[in-house]
Amino acid sequence: MSRNHFRIAVLPGDGIGPEVVREALRVLAALSEETGLSLDIREGFVGGAAYDRFGEPLPEASLSLAMESDAVLLGAVGGPKWESLDYALRPERALLGLRERLGLFANLRPVHVFDDLLDASPLKRSVVEGTDILIVRELTGDLYFGKPRGVRVEGGQRIGVNTLVYTEGEIRRIARTGFEAARARRKQLLSVDKANVLESTQLWRDVVTEVGRDYPDVALGHMYVDNCAMQLVRNPRQFDVIVTTNMFGDILSDEAAMITGSIGMLPSASLGDGRGMYEPIHGSAPDIAGTDSANPLGTILSVAMMLRHSFSLDTEARRIEDAVRAVLRDGLRTRDIAGDGTGLTPVGTVAMGDAVVRKIRDGA
């Protein structure tokens, strides 16, 4: 019999983080009632909220909570209030700390266009229709972790330094994640780099090619990141799985989000050798925090990814995805996906959460 009891650490964070996480938890609660799933949910502080309370963005208590759980659900961190803090104390450091301590090296970002949102994208319907991409972003290397780093004074002027480092081992393991993902989909893997000017990403290209010899059934291609940025808006249907570095993945996935209509729609899973962490790809959106207008669907879909990847509950994951599809079909839209001239009146964060909960209860 499969397991049906799981412990989830919830770290809502800052800005709209708590607002979207609340809706995702309501959806999970409804699903538990319907399916008999038993969830032990414990909340902790992270980001600016943790700094305000404990003087650090990732307190030991929150880290322990995450380490003792089967999976972590995170909202978002950051905001103008904490922007003048030292880098080590900034809310965003909590994300890097969690990724590092939980050994999360692969970030999966599915870019799926819902049929009912074809007109929500700023791109033409004919361009976005049928887009279904999985971006696999490396999470532990690159400019985000490389040393030396910092700003120093030399010859009377300030010099800013960050270091792009990738070890062969780091490239090999993320390449395997990419190939495995492609094998389970349409068997096309595109590796994105900047090998024409960056030696570290020539190594990336070489190692990905080497790993590819173990996956003769997957068609491997390579593309420079600047071309990929252009191709994503020119013809996104050409992509199946994209595997790329930490920074290129960060930027390309925000760009790809707009194909789906809004950054608020995109879920993500960060995986390693143990527990996974699930979060929408957007930030804390301070500009709309507290206005009940954030789109909670990216977070709700992140919970579906948690059920699938951490708990092997594919049917339950699909039930959430179907519920989201059904509310979109009913014409419910938060402001970010309402589009121009659709005649649809935007609903708030809570109303969108209510609608998904109702669909779960109705067995949509």
> Interface with ligand NAD by CB under 6 A: which range of 51-59, 161-169, 179-187, 279-287?
279-287
Q: Among 37, 104, 139, 294, indicate the residue that binds ligand NAD (CB under 6 A).
A: 294
Length of the chain: 364
CB 256 within 8 A of CB 148: no
Does 249 sit near ligand NAD (CB under 6 A)?
Answer: no
CB 331 within 8 A of CB 344: yes
329 to 348: interface string for ligand NAD, x by CB under 6 A: -------x------------
Cβ 21 to ligand NAD shortest distance, Å: 11
Does 99 sit near ligand NAD (CB under 6 A)?
Answer: no
Active site residue 292: no
> Interface with ligand NAD by CB under 6 A: which range of 30-38, 163-171, 185-193, 259-267?
259-267
Q: Which DSSP symbol is given to 24?
A: H
Q: Which residue number, 13 or 236, has a Cβ lying nearer to ligand NAD?
A: 13
Residue 90 main-chain phi, psi, to 5 deg: -70, 145
Distance CA 344, CA 341 (A): 8
Does 282 sit near ligand NAD (CB under 6 A)?
Answer: yes
Cis peptide before 148 (omega within 30 of 0): yes
Active site residue 194: yes
Cβ 355 to ligand NAD shortest distance, Å: 15
Q: Which residue number, 139 or 211, has a Cβ lying nearer to ligand NAD?
A: 139
The 3-state DSSP class for residue 81 equals helix
Q: Among 258, 263, 269, 301, indicate the residue that binds ligand NAD (CB under 6 A).
A: 263
Distance CA 351, CA 334 (A): 9
# residues near ligand NAD by CB under 6 A? 23
Within 3-32, the residues that bind ligand NAD by CB under 6 A are: 16, 20
Active site residue 166: no
Residue 61 main-chain phi, psi, to 5 deg: -60, -40
Q: Which helix (H) or strand (E) holds 191?
A: strand 188-193
Which of 70, 142, 144, 193 is labelled catalytic?
144
Cβ 58 to ligand NAD shortest distance, Å: 12
Token digits for 6?
């799981």
Q: Which DSSP symbol is given to 55?
A: S
Q: Which helix (H) or strand (E) holds 301?
A: helix 297-309
Does 285 sit near ligand NAD (CB under 6 A)?
Answer: yes
Q: Which amino acid is at 97?
A: G
Q: Among 62, 69, 295, 310, indicate the residue that binds ligand NAD (CB under 6 A).
A: 295
Token digits for 192?
């994105």
Alpha-carbon torsion (322, 111, 343, 347), positive or negative: positive
Which of 52, 206, 254, 354 is labelled catalytic?
254
In which residue are the tokens 């590796």 written? 191
List the catalytic residues. 144, 194, 226, 250, 254
Residues interacting with ligand NAD, by CB under 6 A?
16, 20, 76-79, 92, 95, 262-264, 279, 282-288, 294-295, 298, 336
